[in-house]
Structure 1
Amino acid sequence: MPAVSIYILWGLTLLLSIGAFVAVFVLYKQSRKKVSPAVSQEELPQLEEMKAKGREILLEARDEALRIKREAESEAQKRRAEVSKLESRVSQKEEWIDKRIGASEEREKSLSLREKAQAESEKKIEEIKREQLEKLQRVSGLTKEEAKNIILTAVEKNLKSDIARRIKETEEEIKFEADRKAKEILVTAIQKVSTEYVAEYTTSTIALPDDEMKGRIIGREGRNIRTFENLAGVNVEIDETPGVITLSSFDGVRREVARRAMEKLIADGRIQPARIEEVVAKSQRDVDKIIREAGEQLVYETGVTGLPSEIIDLLGRFKFRTSYGQNMIAHTLEVVNIGKVLANEIGTDVKIVKAACLLHDIGKVLTADTEGSHTQIGADILRRHKISERIIQAMESHHEEKPFTSIEGILVNVADAISGARPGARYEDYESYVKRISELENIAASFDGVEKTFALQAGREVRVIVIPQKVDDNGIVTLAHGIAKRIHDEVVYPGMVKVTVIRENRAVEVAK
C-alpha cells in the first residue's frame, strides 16, 4: 500500500511538470505567430516576461513535486514502522501462546501421572484393608457380617434410647403447655351442653289387635305383603310372636313411612293392593312434611340462616337417621353447641363453626345412594348449592380425610369427637363390638415383648403388659406410639382409644 501511494505521487508530479512546460511552450508559439516584424521590438519585453513566468511555473511545479515526494516518503516510513510494530506484537503473542500450550501439556502430563499414582495407592490401600480385615476376622473369630450385625445392634439400641427419650421430653413439654388450657376449654364446653339420648335401631315394631290380622296383612298368596314391601321399600317380618309384626330397613325415612302406612291400614281394616298404594303415598307426603318441619326446626335451634331449601330438607332427614344408634338431630345439635362454646372460648369465627358443625354429617343421608365417604358426598352437595368454601373446608376435614386448613376445621373435629366419645352416646351391635375389641387386643399383642393385652372401657382403652427382660423403660414409650399408630390406621372406632403400656419387675421368695 505505501509503495503504490509513492508511485501515484510521482506520477502526479511528473504530470504537473509536463503540463507547465506544455503551457509555456504553447504560449511561446502563439506569441511568435502573432508577432509581426513591425511590432516585434515593442512586444519583446512581454515575451521575456512570459518566459520568466513559464520558468517560475516550472520551478514551482518542481518544488511541489519534491514536497509531495518527501511527504509520501515520510508517510511510507511511518506506515512501515507501524507494520513492523504490529509484526513484533504478533510475534510476542505467538511466543506467549506457545509457552501456554507447552505449560498446559506439562500440567496434563503431570495430572495423568498423579492419577496413575493415586489409582495405584488406592489399590494398595484396598489390599491392605483386605489383609487387615482378614487378620481381624482371624483374631476375633467373627466374620464381616457378624461384626456388622453387632455394630448395627449397638447403634440401634443407642438410637432407640435417644428416640424414646426425645419423644418423652416432647410429650411432657407439649402436655405442660397445652394441658391446662385444653382442659379448661373442653370442660367449659361439656358443662354448657346437656342432652339426652335414646338408642334407636333399624326396626320398628307394630302391635296388632289380634293374630288374625297377620293373615290379612299377608293376603291371598302373599300379594298384600309383596305390594306393601315393594311400595314402602321395607321388609315386613311376621313370625310366631303373638300380637306384633316388625318392619325392617336401614333407611329411617322409609321405615317411618312404612310404620305410618301399616298403622293406618290396620286401623282401617281394608288391606288390599289398591288401598295399600293409596295409604303409602299419603304417608310419604306426611313424612315429607315432617322432614321439612324438622329441618326448619333444626336450623332455627342452631341459629344458622341463609341455607337453600334443598339443604334444609336433607337436614330434616336427620330426624329418621341414626349413626351407631345415635339420632342424627340430637348429635348435630350437640356438635353445634360444643363447637359454638369452643369457638367463643378461643375467639375464632363462631358463624363458620356453627354452620360447619350443622352440615358436617349431611352426606350420611345419601351414602346409600352415592359412592364415596359421607364427608366427600356432603362437600359435593354443598358445593353444588354454592355454600361458602370456608364452611365446606371446615366440615370436610372433621374426620381428617383432608388436612386441616383452618382453626374452624379443627374445632369441628374436636366437637364431633366429644359428642361421639361421650359414654352412652352411641350404640354398636354385639358382633361389631366384639370384633372391634378383638382387633384392638390382636394389634397390641402382635408387637415383640408384649405378654398380655386387655381392651377396657368398651374399647376406649387398651392396656398392655410387657415382658421386662425384652422391653426397657425407654422402649415402652416407643411401643405405645407404635400400637396407637397401628390402631389409628387399621381400626374404625368412635372417639379416641387410649394405649397404656405397663412394665414392672417382681421378686418372689418363699420362706421355708
Structure 2
Amino acid sequence: MIIEIVVAIVFLAGGVFTGKVFFSKVNKNIEDDAKRKAEDILKNAEISAENLKKDRMLEAKENFLRLRAEFEEDTQNKKGILVENEQKLREKERQLTQQQEQQRQADQELQSQKQSLQSKEENYRKKLEDVERKRLEAEAMLANQISQLEKIAGLSADEARQQIMDALKAEAESKASSLVKQAIEEAKLTATKEAKKVVIETIQRTAAENAIENCVSVFNIESDDVKGKIIGREGRNIRALEAATGVEFIVDDTPEAIIISGFDPVRREIARLSLHRLVQDGRIHPARIEEVVNKTKKNIEDEIIEIGEKTVIDLGIHGLHPELIKMIGRMRFRSSYGQNLLQHSREVAKLCATMAAELGLNAKLAKRAGLLHDIGKVWHEEPELPHALLGMELAQKYKEHPEVCNAIGAHHDEIEMTSMISPIIQVCDAISGSRPGARREMMESYMKRLRDLEALATSFDGVQKCYAIQAGRELRIMVDSENVSDEKASNLSFDISQKIEKEMQYPGQIKVTVIREMRAVNFAK
C-alpha cells in the first residue's frame, strides 16, 4: 500500500515537472508567433500608409489642377464680360454723342420755327388789325344802310325783323304740319295695315259671348201662396231676409215671381240660393233664415275659390297666389258696364296671348296680365285709388312679374308704360269692351260725351257748326270758307283729332271730318 502511494507520488511529481517544461516551451512559441505577427502587421501598416499617402497626394494634385482650370475659366469669362461691358459702354457713348448731336439740331430747328412763328404772329396781328378796322367800317356802312332802308320802308329794324319772323313762323308751321301729315300717312301705309291685320286676326281667333247683366234677379215660385210664407207675419220674414243678405226683395203683383234687387251680384246670388233652399225646405222663420244665409255664404266662398282655380287651369296660368285666385273667382259676380267681369278678363287674356304671339312676345306673360288687369275692381274694401293702380299694388304685393304689374297699372294711362306687353293689354281691353252689345253705357254719360265732343270742336277758330254722329264715332265740322282755306281745314282736322286724344276718354276711335263749302251767290235782275 505504501509502495503504491510512493509510486503515485513519484509519477505525479514527474508529470508536474514534465508539464512545466511543456508549458515553458509553449509560451515561448506563442511569444515568437506574436512578435512575428506584430512585425507583419507593422509592415502592412507602413505599406498601407505609404499607399494612402500616395492616393491623397494624387487627389490633392487633381483638385489643384481642377481648381486651377476653374480659376482660369472664371478668369477668362470675367475677362470676356469686361470686354463686352467695355464695348457696351463705347456703344452707349456713341449713341449719347449722336443724341447730343440730334438734340443740337432739334434746338436749332426749334429756334428757327420759333422765329418763323414770331414772324407769322406779327403778320396775323397786322391782318387782325386790318380785319377789325374793316369790320368797324362794315358796321358803320350797315348802320347807314339800315337807317336808309328804314327811311325808305317806313319801318324800324325791330318791326321789319318781327314781320320776317312772323312770315318765317307761319311758313315753318305750314311746312311742319305738312311734314307731320306726310309722316303720318307714310306710317299708315305700313303700320296701320299691319296693326289692323294683327287686331283682326286676334279678334277672329277669339270667340266670346256677349251678355248684359242687370242689377236684379227674378226668383220663380210655383204658386203665389208661397209669397205669404216669404213675407211672414207682419213682414218679419222678408225683413229678416233683407237684413241677412243686404238686398231688397220686391214682392208685387207679378205672378209666380219675386224680384231680388241689389247692385252686388254676390249678395244677389246668396239671396237667391238662400230663398231657394228656404222654399224647398218649407220652414221659413227668422232663425232658419239666418242659418240658411250663413250656410249659403260659406258655400259661395267655396264656389268663388273653385271658380278661380278652374279659370286659371283653363287658361293654363300657373303659380298665382291663392288670394289672387280668390279675387279671380269673385270676378264671376262682378260686372263692368253690364259686362261680366270674369268673362271680360278671360276674353282679354285670350286676346292678349294671341296678339303677343303674333308680335313675337311672351304670350304666357301677356295672358297673365290680361287676366289680372281688372283685379282692382274686386277688392273687398273701398279704395281711394283707381282700380288700375290698386290692381298694380295688389300684383306687386303678391310678387307678380314687374311687366305684369306695369301692364295692369298702365292699361288706363295712369302710369307710364315700360314694356311692350302694356299697350297690348290696353288694346285688348278696348277690343273686348267695344264688341257690339258687350257693354251698356249710361245715357247721361253718353250724352255728356257727345256734348263734350261738340264743345271741343267749336272751341277752334273758324268752326261754324259741329255735329257728333254715329253714336259719337264721327265728328262732322262745318267751317267758314272765307276765313279757313283748304290747307287750314286739313290742319284743323289734325289739331282737333290730337286734342280729342289728349283730353277725352272714349271707346274705339273717332273720325274727324272738316267740311269747307264754297258758295257763289248772284241775283239776276
- The residue that corresponds to 2:360 in the other structure is 347
Q: Return the offset for 1:511.
A: 8.7
Matches within 5 A, 1:397-416: 397-416=410-429
Q: Does residue 207 of the first structure (1) align with residue 220 of the second (2)?
A: yes
- 2:353, 2:338 → 1: CA distance? 24
Matched to 2:431, the amino acid is I
Number of corresponding residues: 388
- 398, 412, 420: which one pairs with 2:433? 420
Q: Which moved more, 1:313-322 or 1:278-287?
A: 278-287
- The residue that corresponds to 2:408 in the other structure is 395
Q: Does residue 246 of the first structure (1) align with residue 264 of the second (2)?
A: no
Matches within 5 A, 1:176-325: 176-209=189-222, 214=227, 216-220=229-233, 222-239=235-252, 241-325=254-338
Q: Does residue 457 of the first structure (1) align with residue 470 of the second (2)?
A: yes
- The residue that corresponds to 1:382 in the other structure is 395
Q: Return the offset for 1:499.
A: 2.7
- 1:383, 1:420 → 2: CA distance? 26
Matched to 1:429, the amino acid is M
- 1:441, 1:267 → 2: CA distance? 57
Matched to 1:232, the amino acid is T
Q: Residues 266 and 187 (structure 1 numbering): CA distance in 2 closer, same or farther, change over 3 Å?
A: same
Matched to 2:287, the amino acid is A
For 1:71-94, what per-residue CA distance to the aligned partner results, in whole angstroms no more than 9, with x for missing partners? xxxxxxxxxxxxxxxxxxxxxxxx
- The residue that corresponds to 1:474 in the other structure is 487
- 2:167, 2:226 → 1: CA distance? 80
Contact kept? 2:403, 2:422, Cα under 8 Å: no
Contact kept? 2:304, 2:326, Cα under 8 Å: yes
- 2:388, 2:366 → 1: CA distance? 16
Matches within 5 A, 1:102-121: none
Matched to 1:408, the amino acid is I
Matched to 1:351, the amino acid is K
Q: Residues 173 and 278 (structure 1 numbering): CA distance in 2 closer, same or farther, change over 3 Å?
A: same
Q: Return the offset for 1:510.
A: 8.2
Q: Residues 391 and 510 (structure 1 numbering): CA distance in 2 closer, same or farther, change over 3 Å?
A: same
Q: Return the offset for 1:209.
A: 4.7
For 1:30-87, what per-residue CA distance to the aligned partner results, in whole angstroms no more than 9, with x for missing partners? xxxxxxxxxxxxxxxxxxxxxxxxxxxxxxxxxxxxxxxxxxxxxxxxxxxxxxxxxx
- 1:214, 1:136 → 2: CA distance? 102
Q: Return the offset for 1:149.
A: 9.6
Structure 1 residue matching 2:410: 3-state secondary structure = coil
Q: Return the offset for 1:150.
A: 7.7
- 2:151, 2:415 → 1: CA distance? 59
Contact kept? 2:389, 2:408, Cα under 8 Å: no
- The residue that corresponds to 1:169 in the other structure is 182
Contact kept? 1:164, 1:475, Cα under 8 Å: no
- 2:479, 2:406 → 1: CA distance? 42
Q: Residues 508 and 298 (structure 1 numbering): CA distance in 2 closer, same or farther, change over 3 Å?
A: farther
For 1:403-439, what per-residue CA distance to the aligned partner results, in whole angstroms no more than 9, with x for missing partners? 1111111211221122222222211133332232222
- The residue that corresponds to 2:26 in the other structure is none
Note the aligned Cα RMSD (angstroms).
3.7
Q: Residues 203 and 440 (structure 1 numbering): CA distance in 2 closer, same or farther, change over 3 Å?
A: farther
- 2:152, 2:277 → 1: CA distance? 95
Q: Which moved more, 1:438-447 or 1:347-356?
A: 438-447
Q: What are structure 2's unaligned runs of at least 5 residues?
A: 1-135, 137-143
Matched to 1:230, the amino acid is A
- 1:229, 1:136 → 2: CA distance? 93
Q: What are structure 1's unaligned runs of at least 5 residues?
A: 1-117, 119-127
- The residue that corresponds to 1:443 in the other structure is 456
TM-score (norm 1): 0.66
Q: Residues 503 and 389 (structure 1 numbering): CA distance in 2 closer, same or farther, change over 3 Å?
A: same
For 1:161-204, what per-residue CA distance to the aligned partner results, in whole angstroms no more than 9, with x for missing partners? 23431221121122123122212212211111111211112222
Contact kept? 2:373, 2:408, Cα under 8 Å: yes
- More contact order relative to length (CA 8 Å, sep ≥ 6): 1
Q: Does residue 497 of the first structure (1) align with residue 521 of the second (2)?
A: no
Contact kept? 1:160, 1:475, Cα under 8 Å: no
- The residue that corresponds to 1:11 in the other structure is none
State the identity %: 43
- 2:363, 2:188 → 1: CA distance? 27
Matched to 2:299, the amino acid is D
- 1:209, 1:503 → 2: CA distance? 67
